[in-house]
């Protein structure tokens, strides 16, 4: 489904719909609204079923939405003025890009060859407030997301695909596999400059890590994007995050799996993070996502993309249409993530042994430690064939198990250190490595190998 | 044991010891060493048994230690020059403090009335490199720590007490109880301005949280301090951390439990964190410890203590000699910390039910969620009498379980939200609340009550 097919006045009813129709205004049009006191210029936004019929909502150039009572509107007119202040320049990758920005008639844009696939999986970016309960639930399709960020049509033809509709805390490894298949099919179609996956933020970093291992040697960028505030709230970060994702997906010269979210609390910069090195570090802030032990790979300021100067130190594939994907979409859930704490009951590990787990990711303290009382059970687990890996609950920094006696004892017992791999990424990778190995030896080899920058080469000390 | 009784030339042997004795130089003296090419001024540092006999080690004013070959030394003389550039001013709390700084003879200092108890528990701050293995192990007593930071004698009489000698990853809730008893006894002696606990960094934030609940209504500050590099390394952060802890313990007008560690990578500022709101966020950096959702309560620049202007928003007791301690030192280990991740096996919760756990701290995603597949087992746990609490693996920010359907379903099932309590602090607090409750109702009440700023009132958004 393309934007062309979506309802031109979604959510407007009765008097408000009549007013817009009379003036030949459609969603996404730049309009000037005059009231007795003020003049507002902005993009016409869609409304939702539960909204009243007496307001027209436009997105101002500062990114905020306002609703204007139709009883106060004196005139409403469509204007040709573009929101963007930069008519050309930043887009350098693709021939013909300039035409988009010089176009006077936005309908022409849909005829360009630049296409982005937008795979919807659910989450806040696809949510709206339930005015009955005051809560937020996932109800909008990818098509609705696209409709709620009309300025996207200035950049490329977005083809939404409402694939899943699930809060991300409910996603399971089987969903990673399904999403990977969907992406692979779109990549194989060879008609997109990039693929965007809209996703709930709770586990977006787990999914981005999973896709980083499942989809190797991608020919184009795959960008996950979410929102911390739902799209129908004036303070929503959905539009700018999606815009940043589109800019990166179109312009980046690299392929791989990435996450685009706000870089700071204000609406000006979007960070692009490596899929294996990103973490949700705040429950509610727009800039909740942070790159760990590395800077973001790129920043987007409006249409301008700045690649990080250090990006060359990462092993990233170049965008390359002819690249053949290495597709390994399976995950095996028999991996246990255990966070250590004083008072941790070592017998817990016995449970893992008897219930068929094949690997344990320890989230140890400091440089990669657990209390010495745990050592006998760790030895027992390893002797019974379970692979035990070490990460740190510190979040930042590399583990080093040769410095202290505790670490050396754990190494002697056969615990395998995972450098500065994030515990979340390590858990996902172990599920992937388990599904893609025919022996413990092969799994260990995969875990130690730096496949998708999950072990970062240079980190600030 | 006081500094007076410790060996005046610890670790120096044969020629190096003779050279120092001939010149009437003792550990901690400010000395000027002249070689053919250079002149060095610094404090004489102790050496360790495994060191060679041919070098004399001094700490320069920039905080680094250097070793000077005795074959190159032309003259070595004791000087009266003080390291500190600020002779008076910053110390305002205690009468007589000025005398310390104006004293020409450092021995006089030991006659002042300012006393700090230094309880050693082990860790890197009490460690040295094992030159055989290249690793670090805990071998020094509190007395040794004191000896290795000679400038401490400029501030107060430090009374070391080598209580434990354990890497902190090996400490258990029973050790928190023992440390709490030891502190209580020192507080009861009413002869200290403050109490410092030297501690390994791996679990220092767990212990600081534990002591915050065990030792309420303290009359004086209790400050935990550690080091990320052992005391005998030139780059050790031990001396400045300890100095910061001493300055805070002497000067702070508040009581409670705190953690003092480097504020940044360079040797100039020490942060003082609230014991319940601090986390080790880096495996190796000196500034690994961060206050979460709050600024540090104070910064120390040398002798200068700057209380944070927002400190008043915390509920902190005033330093008050007459205050009667509320002593609740017991912890019950039957608390399980579970970090949620996609692929998490809900049956795990069954294990907790059958093995006698009394409370579960969930480290959920985002605003306080776990996958819906987990809900039936959580209901079962709650029905069987286990208390289930929610925190967030995001680290920063408050949970809010009323926003999304997942959160509301968990609330309906009886899961108890813990606002912005850190998962580590929540785990420790649950062990404490379990030991100090005679009913689940009372435990829930204690968990929800803000006892030691474990729920912060105002957080940056």
pLDDT tens, N- to C-terminus, chain B (461 residues):
232 333 467 678 888 888 888 888 887 778 899 988 888 888 887 765 456 778 888 877 655 567 888 888 888 988 864 333 222 222 222 222 333 333 333 333 344 568 999 999 988 777 665 545 555 555 555 566 666 677 777 788 888 888 998 999 999 999 999 999 999 999 999 999 999 999 999 999 999 999 999 999 999 999 999 998 876 676 778 888 999 999 999 999 999 999 999 999 887 899 999 999 999 999 999 999 999 999 899 999 988 999 987 766 778 899 999 999 999 999 999 999 999 999 999 998 999 999 999 999 999 999 999 999 999 999 999 999 999 999 999 999 999 999 999 999 999 999 999 999 999 999 999 999 999 999 999 999 999 999 999 998 654 43
The predicted pLDDT at position A51 comes to: 60
Distance of residue B395 Cα from the nearest chain A Cα, in angstroms = 6
**pLDDT, mean over chain A:** 84
Q: Check A153, A186, A251, A280 and give the catalytic one.
A: A280
Asked whether residue B281 is assigned to any structural domain, the reply reads yes
Same domain for A161 and A16, yes or no, is no
The whole-angstrom separation of Cα A435 and Cα B46 is 56
Q: For the ranges A334-348, A368-382, B8-22, B190-204, which has the lowest average pLDDT?
A: B8-22
DSSP 3-state percent helix, strand, coil across chain B (nearest 5): 30, 25, 45
Enumerate the residues of chain A whose CB falls inside 8 A of the CB of residue B199.
Answer: none
Q: Write the pLDDT tens digit of every residue in A139-194.
A: 555 566 666 677 777 788 888 888 998 999 999 999 999 999 999 999 999 999 99
Enumerate the residues of chain A whose CB falls inside 8 A of the CB of residue B365.
Answer: 168-169, 202-203, 280
Same domain for B139 and B7, yes or no, is no
Please check whether residue B301 touches A, CB under 8 A. Answer: no
Distance of residue B112 Cα from the nearest chain A Cα, in angstroms = 39
**Does residue A17 surpass a pLDDT of 90?**
no
Please check whether residue B385 touches A, CB under 8 A. Answer: no
Same domain for A295 and A392, yes or no, is no
Calculate the CA dihedral of residues A282, A286, A289, A291 and round it to 10 degrees: -120
Same domain for A168 and A304, yes or no, is yes
Instruction: Tell me which chain B residue has its CA closest to the CA of residue A419.
Output: B283
Q: Give the residue from B298, B327, B356 where a domain finishes.
A: B327
Which residues of chain A from 442 to 461 reach within 8 Å of chain B, CB to CB? 461
Q: Stretch A116-120: mean pLDDT, rounded?
A: 92
Asked whether residue A90 is assigned to any structural domain, the reply reads no
CATH number of the domain at B17, please: 2.30.30.520
Asked whether residue A61 is assigned to any structural domain, the reply reads yes
Same domain for B279 and B178, yes or no, is yes
Distance of residue A180 Cα from the nearest chain B Cα, in angstroms = 16
Q: Strands A359-364 and A326-327: what pairing? A: unpaired
Cβ B405–A173 below 8 Å, yes or no? no
Cβ A404–B136 below 8 Å, yes or no? yes
Asked whether residue A136 is assigned to any structural domain, the reply reads yes
Please report where in the chains the tokens 């100090």 appear, as a residue: B436
Instruction: Give yes or no for a contact between B276 and B291, defined as CB atoms under 8 angstroms apart.
Output: no
Instruction: Give yes or no for a contact between A337 and A363, defined as CB atoms under 8 angstroms apart.
Output: yes
Instruction: Tell me which chain A residue has its CA closest to the CA of residue B279.
Output: A394
The predicted pLDDT at position B112 comes to: 56
Enumerate the residues of chain A whose CB falls inside 8 A of the CB of residue B202.
Answer: 365-366, 369
Beta-carbon contacts of A350 under 8 Å, excluding residues fewer than 6 positions away, are: A377, A380
Q: How confident is the model at residue A107 (pLDDT cuts 50, 70, 90)?
A: very low
Same domain for A109 and A72, yes or no, is no
Same domain for B411 and B274, yes or no, is no
Q: Stretch A250-259: mean pLDDT, rounded?
A: 96
Enumerate the residues of chain A whose CB falls inside 8 A of the CB of residue B394.
Answer: 280-283, 288
Q: What value of ipTM does the predicted structure carry?
A: 0.79
Q: CB-CB: which of B135, B342, B424 is closest to A172?
A: B342
In chain A, pLDDT over 70 holds for what percent of residues?
81
* Per-residue three-class SS string for chain A: CCHHHCCCCCCCCHHHHHHHHHCCCCCCCEEEEEECCCEEEEEECCCCCCCCCCEEEEECCCCCEEEEECCCEEEEEECCCCCCCCCCCCCCCCCCHHHHHHCCCHHHHHHCCCEEEEEECCCHHHEEECCCCCCEEECCCHHHHHHHCHHHHHCCEEEEEECCCCCHHHCCHHHHHHHHHHHHHHHHCCCCCEEEEECCCCCHHHHHHHHHHHEECCCCEEEEECCCCCCCCCCCCHHHHHHHHHHHHHHCCECEEEEEEECCCCCCCEEEEECCCEEECECCCCCCEEECCCCCCEEEECCEEEECHHHHHCCCCECCCCCCCEECCCCCCCEEEEECCCCCCCHHHHHHHHCCCCEEEEEEECCCECCHHHHHHHHHHHHCCCEEEEEECCCECCCCCCCEHHHHHHHHHCCEECCCCCHHHHHHHHHHHHHCCCCHHHHHHHHHCCCCCCCCCCCCC
Please check whether residue B406 touches A, CB under 8 A. Answer: yes
Q: Check A128, A153, A201, A203 and give the catalytic one.
A: A201
CATH number of the domain at A275, please: 3.40.50.1170
The whole-angstrom separation of Cα A359 and Cα A14 is 60
Same domain for A107 and A213, yes or no, is yes
The predicted pLDDT at position A204 comes to: 98
Asked whether residue A430 is assigned to any structural domain, the reply reads yes
Active site residue A280: yes
Q: CB-CB: which of A173, A201, A405 is closest to B342?
A: A173
**Helical spans, DSSP H, in B129-237:** 142-148, 173-189, 204-214
Domain count within chain B: 3
The predicted pLDDT at position B416 comes to: 98
Please report where in the chains the tokens 């500022």 appear, as a residue: B269
Cβ B206–A170 below 8 Å, yes or no? no
Active site residue A201: yes
Cβ B283–A133 below 8 Å, yes or no? no
Cβ A404–B370 below 8 Å, yes or no? no
Cβ A135–B402 below 8 Å, yes or no? yes
Span between the terminal Cα atoms of chain A, in Å: 49
Enumerate the residues of chain A whose CB falls inside 8 A of the CB of residue B402.
Answer: 134-135
Enumerate the residues of chain B whose CB falls inside 8 A of the CB of residue A369.
Answer: 167, 169, 202
Same domain for B110 and B238, yes or no, is yes
Enumerate the residues of chain A whose CB falls inside 8 A of the CB of residue B398.
Answer: 283-284
Same domain for B220 and B293, yes or no, is yes
Instruction: Tell me which chain B residue has its CA closest to the CA of residue A392.
Output: B283
Kindly report the number of other CB atoms within 10 A of residue A418's CB atom: 25
CATH number of the domain at B400, please: 3.40.50.40
Cβ B284–A406 below 8 Å, yes or no? no
| Catalytic annotation, residues of B | 124, 201-202, 280
Distance of residue B345 Cα from the nearest chain A Cα, in angstroms = 8
The predicted pLDDT at position A247 comes to: 93
Same domain for A173 and A320, yes or no, is yes
Asked whether residue B83 is assigned to any structural domain, the reply reads no
The predicted pLDDT at position A135 comes to: 55
CA atoms lying within 13 Å on the CB side of residue A316: 26
Cβ B168–A365 below 8 Å, yes or no? yes
Please check whether residue B235 touches A, CB under 8 A. Answer: no
Higher pLDDT, A135 or B222: B222
Q: Give the residue from B272, B300, B327 where a domain finishes.
A: B327
Which residues of chain B from 72 to 131 reach within 8 Å of chain A, CB to CB? none
Q: Write the pLDDT tens digit of every residue in A40-99.
A: 888 887 765 456 778 888 877 655 567 888 888 888 988 864 333 222 222 222 222 333
Distance of residue B225 Cα from the nearest chain A Cα, in angstroms = 15
The whole-angstrom separation of Cα A254 and Cα A308 is 12
Please check whether residue A364 touches B, CB under 8 A. Answer: yes
Distance of residue B296 Cα from the nearest chain A Cα, in angstroms = 18
Which residues of chain B from 33 to 72 reach within 8 Å of chain A, CB to CB? none
Q: CB-CB: which of A137, A337, A370 is closest to B339?
A: A337
Distance of residue A171 Cα from the nearest chain B Cα, in angstroms = 6
pTM, 2 dp = 0.79
Distance of residue A34 Cα from the nearest chain B Cα, in angstroms = 35
Asked whether residue B453 is assigned to any structural domain, the reply reads no
Please check whether residue A394 touches B, CB under 8 A. Answer: yes
Cα angle A98, A104, A107 (rounded to 5 degrees) comes to 90
Instruction: Tell me which chain B residue has its CA closest to the CA of residue A202.
Output: B366
B206-223 per-residue burial string, b: 16 or more CB within 10 A, e: under 16: bbbbbbbbbbbebbbbbb
Kindly report the number of other CB atoms within 10 A of residue A327's CB atom: 17
Asked whether residue A243 is assigned to any structural domain, the reply reads yes
Cβ B283–A368 below 8 Å, yes or no? yes
The predicted pLDDT at position A83 comes to: 36
Q: CB-CB: which of A202, A336, A373 is closest to B365?
A: A202
The predicted pLDDT at position A85 comes to: 28
Same domain for A114 and A202, yes or no, is yes
Please give the residue range of the domain that contains residue A367: 335-448
The CA R_g of chain A, rounded to the nearest whole Å, is 24
Q: Write the pLDDT tens digit of every residue in A223-240.
A: 999 998 876 676 778 888
Q: Write the pLDDT tens digit of every residue in A257-274.
A: 999 999 998 878 999 999
Q: How confident is the model at residue A338 (pLDDT cuts 50, 70, 90)?
A: very high
Q: Give the residue from B304, B327, B350 where a domain finishes.
A: B327
Closest CA to A137 of B404, B106, B284, B319: B404
Kindly report the number of other CB atoms within 10 A of residue B138's CB atom: 24
The predicted pLDDT at position A136 comes to: 55
Instruction: Tell me which chain A residue has its CA closest to the CA of residue B136.
Output: A404
Q: Stretch A309-320: mean pLDDT, rounded?
A: 81
């Amino acid at each position: 489904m393309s934007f062309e097919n979506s309802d031109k006045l979604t959510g407007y009813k009765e008097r408000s719909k009549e007013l817009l129709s009379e003036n030949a205004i459609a969603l996404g049009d730049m309009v000037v609204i005059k009231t007795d006191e003020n003049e507002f210029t902005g993009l016409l936004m869609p409304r939702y079923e539960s909204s009243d019929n007496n307001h027209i909502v436009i997105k101002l150039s500062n990114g905020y939405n306002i609703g204007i009572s139709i009883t106060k509107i004196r005139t409403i007119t469509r204007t040709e003025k573009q929101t963007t202040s930069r008519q050309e320049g930043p887009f350098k990758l693709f021939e013909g890009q300039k035409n988009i920005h010089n176009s006077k008639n936005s309908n022409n844009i849909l005829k360009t060859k630049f296409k982005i696939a937008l795979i919807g999986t659910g989450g806040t970016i696809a949510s709206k407030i339930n005015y009955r309960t005051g809560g937020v639930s996932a109800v909008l399709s990818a098509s609705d997301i696209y409709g709620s960020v009309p300025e996207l049509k200035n950049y490329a033809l977005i083809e939404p695909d409402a694939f899943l509709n699930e809060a991300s805390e409910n996603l399971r490894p089987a969903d990673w596999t399904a999403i990977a298949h969907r992406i692979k099919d779109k990549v194989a179609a060879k008609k997109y400059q990039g693929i965007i996956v809209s996703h709930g933020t709770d586990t977006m970093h787990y999914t981005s890590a999973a896709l980083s291992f499942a989809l190797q040697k991608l020919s184009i960028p795959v960008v996950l994007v979410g929102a911390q505030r739902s799209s129908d709230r004036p303070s929503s970060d959905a539009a700018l995050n999606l815009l940043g994702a589109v800019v990166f997906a179109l312009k980046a010269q690299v392929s791989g799996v990435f996450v685009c979210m706000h870089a700071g609390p204000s609406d000006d910069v979007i960070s692009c993070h490596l899929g294996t090195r990103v973490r949700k570090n705040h429950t509610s802030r727009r800039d909740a996502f942070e790159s760990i032990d590395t800077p973001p790979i790129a920043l987007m300021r409006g249409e301008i993309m700045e690649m990080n100067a250090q990006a060359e130190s990462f092993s990233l594939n170049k965008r390359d249409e002819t690249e053949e994907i290495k597709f390994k979409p399976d995950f095996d859930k028999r991996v246990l993530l255990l966070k250590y704490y004083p008072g941790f009951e070592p017998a817990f590990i016995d449970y893992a042994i008897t219930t068929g787990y094949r690997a344990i990711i320890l989230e140890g303290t400091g440089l990669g430690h657990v209390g010495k009382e745990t050592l006998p059970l760790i030895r027992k687990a390893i002797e019974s064939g379970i692979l035990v890996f070490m990460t740190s609950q510190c979040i930042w920094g590399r583990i080093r198990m040769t410095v202290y006696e505790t670490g050396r004892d754990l190494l002697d017992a056969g615990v395998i250190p995972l450098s500065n791999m994030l515990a979340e990424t390590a858990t996902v990778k172990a599920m992937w490595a388990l599904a893609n190995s025919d022996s413990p030896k092969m799994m260990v080899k995969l875990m130690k190998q730096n496949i998708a920058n999950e072990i970062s080469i240079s980190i600030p000390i």
